[in-house]
Chain A
Amino acid sequence: MQHATSRHFKKNARRALDDAQLQRALGHVKKNFVERRAAAAARLPEFEALRDRARDIKNHVLENLDVYLERFEAKVVANGGQVHWCADAEAARQTILRICRSVNAKLVTRGKTMIGEEIALNDFLEANAITPVETDLGEYIIQLRHEPPSHLIAPAIHVNKEQVAETFRAAHTDLDPKRPLTEPPALLAEARAKLRSRFLAADVGITGANFLVAETGSSIIVTNEGNGDLTQTLPKIHIVLASLEKVVPTLEDAATILRVLARSATGQEMSVYTTVSTGPRRADDLDGPEQYHVVLLDNGRSRMLGSEFREALRCIRCGACLNHCPIYHAVGGHAYGWVYSGPIGAVLTPSLIGVEEAGHLPNASTFCGRCESVCPMRIPLPKMMRHWREREFERHLSPPAARWALRLWAFAAKRPALYRLGARIGARLLKLRGGQSGRIASLPLAGGWTAHRDMPAPEGRTFQQLWAERSRP
């Protein structure tokens, strides 16, 4: 499993809040992604209907997941490909290693896939004397920097161009150290040239899959760069690494979901490259891989299917929830401490790595609901975060002080007379503490509030009190 720091969420968040460079980048996320998605949605009258249909398609698939996976597998095999069922990360890693070793692979190009992060594939390949090279520009940058991705679709969003230049100078040691590298075009040109030679030299290309199509036994990837295509076309072997829930029934179903994917992610009508791959090259093809392998990963999905978190399996990894989340805007992706960040990260991470490790994530939410309002698959993210909070409550995983405060509140809330008395006392005491100014600058037990803002003082008497007086003749 990819190493997680989710239990240090608060510390991670603090670091993120103090990182001026990150905060600038997050400011762009808050503005650009939000505006673009809104514009794309407004431009397509059928957008809401497509969201409904996309949700229904995925629900249908999940309800029949075994059948669709079997159909998919049969079609892959009929087209000359192979399907490998892997229960967990270790099985997936070993399977990929075995395939790589079968052709003495030394160099592996990687198209972007979160599953690769989930199973910590790159470190494993390197430990086994195989060089993996991320080819998505953002992933390449963070690979060189030994950092995890900070955003679902823009993994290097936290890195500025000076940092990219610094990273390239340190890594591309064969190039002239005096070369100018200050502007994005120069950086892009250098990355393009470097990666071009890797594409051409790679023995194995590993991509993810946005969709696995049961009808045809195909995998679909969606990119803007074309790196996924070069990854899967040039080497001898194409490995598709995908989790179980990626399957959709037909090409038409893929079309429906594709219509909401790019629009929700970046506001584009279509990503530049949507590629449907089916099996290895055909007998007379002039290019294409000789072998096509699909590594189907469970890693907790089959269990999630039977849980109250099933709906999270509809996720198509568009990133809209992150792009609209006030917490993500404040702290960025690294703070979440694992592969998936933002609202979907808050729901998935405890499921995949355990709620003891990831317990903070579903708690660090205001339940503003913006995520759910933009999710193309209509996943009820706040509801599922609340389910995690219920599980934590049942297992006494919440901090004791918070638990006690809540039990006390609930105790009073069930006893109106006691509650009214407590409220009257509280209103009076807080009003006194507010003094002349009408606000309180510091309050014991409410340090979390008063550290950053004043507490307005109450009027001094409760509504119930005043209402009772008003009603008396």
Chain B
Amino acid sequence: MSERPARVGLFVTCLVDLFRPTVGFAAVKLLEEAGCTVEVPRAQTCCGQPAYNSGDRADAKAIAARVIAAFEPYDYVVAPSGSCAGMIREHYPTLLADDPAMQKRAQTLAARTYELVSFLTDVRGMSGVTARFDGTITYHDSCSGLRELGVKQQPRKLLATVAGLRLAELPGAEICCGFGGTFCIKYPAISDKIVSEKTADIAATGATTLLAGDLGCLLNMAGKLKREGRPIAVRHVAEVLAGMTDIAPIGESKAE
């Protein structure tokens, strides 16, 4: 594992910030284990994807400019989300294409921006974790992480080193969960159909815990699993890798 210290700016993501700070703290712990110093720029809010995907380029650009300014001092930008990391890495340069100076800064930042788990394995050379988690889990490959950033083997590689953990592969792991940002609000019936097929696939694995790397997907799948009364716990993969699973799973409380 690389011993060279690296200054990481943690891109918390709006969903982690609002819904599940534990994921952020798990990310910090893992990054520190990987020999990074972690700072959290206070000026961050959102990566701008909601505006971008809704066709509001102007707002998306304005938000992107702020993100670039807040994060460019760091060696790396790491987000516990393939969707947000993908936005910065894959879309900021195109988004800012009509302002060459801004685009250059976007490209520079993009080259240093990563999704959390793939950063740990591919950049920091992390080959295992010391966490323990007893039980069978299944893993959903979030679309952006998978298709924009190539996140597939990396979480599986680290999960394989978690003591007590057994991975049951999810058939159709690469099929969308139906979240799609504003899609699930704009087309709820279709989204529901898609997530229902996903929860059926998840239940069929026999796993007692579902993991993924994107909180949007996780909130969507957890919400459906709970509504269906399925006894499957849902967590962000960072929680398990960091051994921070004291907190109740997503959509549950300690009382359950």
- Chain A residues within 8 Å of B, Cβ to Cβ: 10, 13-14, 17, 326-327, 329-331, 363-370, 372-373, 386, 388-394, 398, 402, 406-407, 409-410, 412-416, 419-420, 423, 426-427, 434, 436-439, 441, 446-449, 451-459, 461-468
> B19: which A residues are within 8 A, CB to CB?
427, 456, 458-459
- B223 pairs with A439, CB closer than 8 A: yes
Question: Nearest residue in A to B196 (C-beta to C-beta)?
Answer: A452
Give, as a whole number of angstroms, the nearest-CB distance from A464 to chain B. 6
Chain B, residues 216-256, CB within 8 Å of chain A (1/0): the string is 00011011101100000000000000000001101111011
Query: Is A439 within 8 A of B190, CB to CB?
Result: no
Report yes or no: B253 in contact with A438, Cβ–Cβ below 8 A.
yes
* A455 contact from B48, B143, B223, Cβ within 8 A: B223
- Contact between chains at A366 and B48 (CB < 8 Å): no
Partner of B183, one of A364, A420, A446, A461: A364
For A453, list chain B residues within 8 Å (CB).
192, 195, 220, 223-224, 226-227
Residues of B within 8 A of A461 (CB): 21
In this complex, how many residues of chain B approach chain A with their Cβ under 8 Å: the count is 71
Do A454 and B227 touch (CB < 8 A)?
yes
Tell me, in angstroms, the Cα distance from A459 to B252 when the chains sit together: 10
On B, residues with C-beta under 8 Å from A are 12, 14, 16-22, 24-25, 40, 42-46, 48, 50-57, 59, 62-63, 66, 143-144, 147-148, 174-176, 178-195, 197, 219-220, 222-224, 226-227, 247-248, 250-253, 255-256
Q: How far is the CA of A38 from the CA of B104 in the complex (A)?
A: 38
What is the chain A residue whose CB lies nearest that of B28?
A467
Q: List 7 A-B residue pairs with CB atoms under 8 Å apart, sorted by A's residue number.
A: A326-B175, A329-B197, A363-B187, A393-B57, A410-B51, A423-B17, A426-B18
Do A386 and B21 have beta carbons less than 8 Å apart? no
Bound-state CA distance A454–B52 (Å) is: 27
A-B pairs, top 7 by smallest CB distance, nearest first, are A366-B180, A438-B253, A393-B55, A389-B55, A456-B251, A453-B223, A410-B59
Q: Which residues of A contact B174 (CB under 8 A)?
A: 370
CA distance A449 to B187 in the complex (A): 10
Contacts of B179 in A (CB 8 A): 366
- Residue in contact with B178 in the complex, picked from A326, A393, A423, CB distance below 8 Å: A326
CB neighbours of B24 from chain A (8 A): 463, 467
Q: How far is the CA of A13 from the CA of B191 in the complex (A)?
A: 11
Return the contact of B256 from the options A331, A389, A438, A454 (Cβ within 8 A): A438
- Could you say which residues of chain B place their CB within 8 Å of the CB of A434? 253
In the bound complex, do residue A330 and residue B194 qualify as a contact, i.e. CB atoms below 8 Å apart? yes
| Inter-chain contacts of A17 with B (CB < 8 A) | 189-190, 193
Residues of B within 8 A of A451 (CB): 188, 192
Chain B nearest CB, measured from A454 CB (Å)? 4
Residue of A nearest to B195 (CB): A453
